[in-house]
Amino acid sequence: MGLTVFRYRRRTVLAIIAIVLLLLITLWRTAEWAERIGLENLHERAQHDLSLFVAHLQGELARYQSLPTLLATEEVLAGVFQNPDHNVNLVNRHLKTINDIVDAADIYLMDATGLTVAASNWNTSRPFVGRNFGFRPYFQEAMQGQLGRYYALGTTSKERGYYFAYPIRRKGYTLGAVVVKISLDVIESAWGDDGNAFIVTDPDGVIFITTRSEWKFNTLKALPRERIARIKASRRYGDTDLPPLPVVTQRPFADQARILRLREPIQGASAKTRQVTYLMQGRAMLDAGWKVHVLSNLAPVRKQVFNATLLAGFVFALLVLTTLFVRLRQQNAVALRRARDQLEQRVKERTADLSESNKRLRREIVERNRAEEDLRQTQDELIQAAKLAGIGQMSAGINHELNQPLSAIRSYADNARALMDRNRQDEAQWNLVQIAELTERMAQIIKQLKLFARKTSEQTTPVSLQGSIDAALSLLATRIHREQARVIRDLPIQDCLVLGDAVRLEQVFVNLIVNALDSMSNSEYRELSIKTVIHDNAQVTVSLRDTGPGIPESHLSRIFDPFFTTKEAGQGLGLGLSISYRIIDGWGGVLKAVNHPEGGAIFYLDLPLVPIQEEADVLTEEAAASHG
């Protein structure tokens, strides 16, 4: 049993571990799969956004790219260098007009030394006119006869700009250059949102266009100090420090793409930062010398992963529950079947047991019957023995009883003969009548003795209680009389019939009365009171109370035992009460003894009464029999 439980527990634990492992693997695989799909989608979408942004940038630059070349052909500009009296103001206005039309930041004219001689912003608070930008690479490139391109933080305007410069050449001489500057601040404002951030980096990895202002002039990775010094010397980005982006971790994702985790300030909480993960992918813009990147926030992917994992967990749980449910039902069915089998088996066993115990019972009944038979026989023998003993006991009395009438008869006979000799017929007649009466009485006594000694049958018949008591009293009349015992007989007039045997019932009363007389042998006053009480017309109790010493407490439980006697040897066998008890018990009655509080013993004899109806029937039958 214990081993089974242990095995069962172990199996359950293993199953739980397996389920948990399976769940973890499922969740993990789902998360992995969802992340891959999410990232691929994001990658694709971001590529598309990137293309759009690059196209937008290219378009923006392309709009201005040919403008300096065009302006360089204008004589009004070249005139500034060819004719000292040339009206520069006119040129300034012309440049402003063009600048306004094409919506550039600034357009200006530089001489061969890099000094700005005319500019569209000539009348603003910070005009370029008079300033030398000869150090700028776009100027140097233009001076070499090419289209100069450059992007930088304006030294005067402090605005980030893209510069196109083209030389003004006349008759084989390069007179100067015309420069168109476009503002890059405008480009940023229209792009970028929560999900996507765009950045444009130079070959050093410096971010100079970005839709996220906090990243402006950060570098993709930390630059060596001498490199920073060189960039600073070029004055491209003014005095800015060029710190690296706050990258926490990064890993490659695909070609030209990687996953970056950045520390970002939380808006509204100045000191606090959070970490945000981006998928970053870049594309080179060779013309401009830039690299454009798009950083896509992974939050939506994370959310998708979470949702997918949750769904997978849910589906898994559902599957497990369904499986469990099915299994439980199967197990239940198995358990039910097993229980039914066990029950059947047990019923079979019980049936076998029962039939076995039935057999045993039957055997016991047979044995019991035999024992009962033996007992009855023994009892009969005992009764017989007791009777004989009783006869022995009574023989003295009987002797007296018979001897007395015998001697009387003898003297009456003598008298009669003498009287007849004297021919006194009448007197002789009287004596003969006396003799006849005496023989009648003797016959009576002998009849009683015969009745007592007779062995009785087992059958019970309605017997008159009063009749039995009177018969017993009459049997013992001589002794009662001799011992001067007073008998109070308080019995109902109507016959009480009990189911029993006349001889035995009489014997019971003889026993009880003899015992009472014996007990009172030393008493001063001898009184035997016999009373009858009827209960509910169904039960009768006969009480026999004597004025003897009563029964000692210690004997009360033993007096009904066979051979228990307190009488001298030869006086009693100790069988009387035990036989009486058995007789009464055999008829469904009770015989018990108590002591009266005022002295003397009381014997109670309870017997069921024959119901009136039955009694009437019996009487009728008897009457019919006697008539028949």
Q: Which residues contact residue 63 at a Cβ distance below 8 angstroms, ignoring those fewer than 6 apart?
A: 102
Nearest alpha carbon to residue 582 among 341, 328, 378, 305: 378
Q: Does 281 bind ligand ADP (CB under 6 A)?
A: no
Helices (H), 520-596: 553-556, 576-586
Q: How far apart are CA 507 and CA 453, in angstroms?
A: 10
DSSP code string of 56-88: HHHHHHHHHHTHHHHHHT-HHHHHHHH-TT--H
Least separation in angstroms between CB 358 and ligand ADP: 41
8 A C-beta contact, residue 449 and residue 392: no
Q: Does 574 bind ligand ADP (CB under 6 A)?
A: yes
Least separation in angstroms between CB 468 and ligand ADP: 17
Q: Does 596 bind ligand ADP (CB under 6 A)?
A: no
8 A C-beta contact, residue 113 and residue 134: yes
Least separation in angstroms between CB 515 and ligand ADP: 3
CB atoms within 10 A of CB 255: 6
Residue from 19, 566, 615, 618 that binds ligand ADP (CB under 6 A)?
566
8 A C-beta contact, residue 132 and residue 113: yes
Stretch of 72-80, 131-139, 212-220, 561-569 lying at the interface with ligand ADP (CB under 6 A): 561-569
Q: Which of residues 152 and 591 has its CB atom nearest to ligand ADP in the complex?
A: 591
Q: How far apart are CA 120 and CA 91, in angstroms?
A: 9
Q: Which residues contact residue 509 at a Cβ distance below 8 angstroms, ignoring those fewer than 6 apart?
A: 468, 469, 471, 472, 473
Residue from 564, 586, 587, 608 that binds ligand ADP (CB under 6 A)?
564
Least separation in angstroms between CB 555 and ligand ADP: 6
Q: Which of residues 245 and 601 has its CB atom nearest to ligand ADP in the complex?
A: 601
Residue from 577, 583, 605, 609 that binds ligand ADP (CB under 6 A)?
577
Residue from 116, 218, 515, 547 that binds ligand ADP (CB under 6 A)?
515
Residue from 291, 572, 582, 589 that binds ligand ADP (CB under 6 A)?
572
Under rule CB under 6 A, which residues in 520-559 are in contact with ligand ADP? 546, 548, 551, 559
Least separation in angstroms between CB 473 and ligand ADP: 16
**Cα angle: 40, vertex 43, 44; to 5 degrees:** 90
Cα→Cα distances 34→280, 296, 298, 456, Å: 19, 17, 12, 110
Q: Which of residues 296 and 515 has its CB atom nearest to ligand ADP in the complex?
A: 515
Query: Half-sphere exposure (CA, 13 Å, Cβ side) for 121?
Result: 20
Cα→Cα distances 525→478, 495, 511, 598, 604, Å: 18, 31, 21, 14, 22
Least separation in angstroms between CB 448 and ligand ADP: 20
Cα of 307 vs its chain's centroid, Å? 34
The β-bridge partners of 151 are 162
Stretch of 220-228, 243-251, 333-341, 508-516 lying at the interface with ligand ADP (CB under 6 A): 508-516
Residue from 281, 507, 511, 547 that binds ligand ADP (CB under 6 A)?
511
Q: Does 57 bind ligand ADP (CB under 6 A)?
A: no
Residue from 105, 184, 573, 609 that binds ligand ADP (CB under 6 A)?
573
Least separation in angstroms between CB 467 and ligand ADP: 22
Q: Does 576 bind ligand ADP (CB under 6 A)?
A: yes
Residue from 410, 489, 567, 592 that binds ligand ADP (CB under 6 A)?
567
Chain contacts with ligand ADP (rule: CB under 6 A):
511, 515-516, 519, 546, 548, 551, 559, 564-567, 572-578, 601
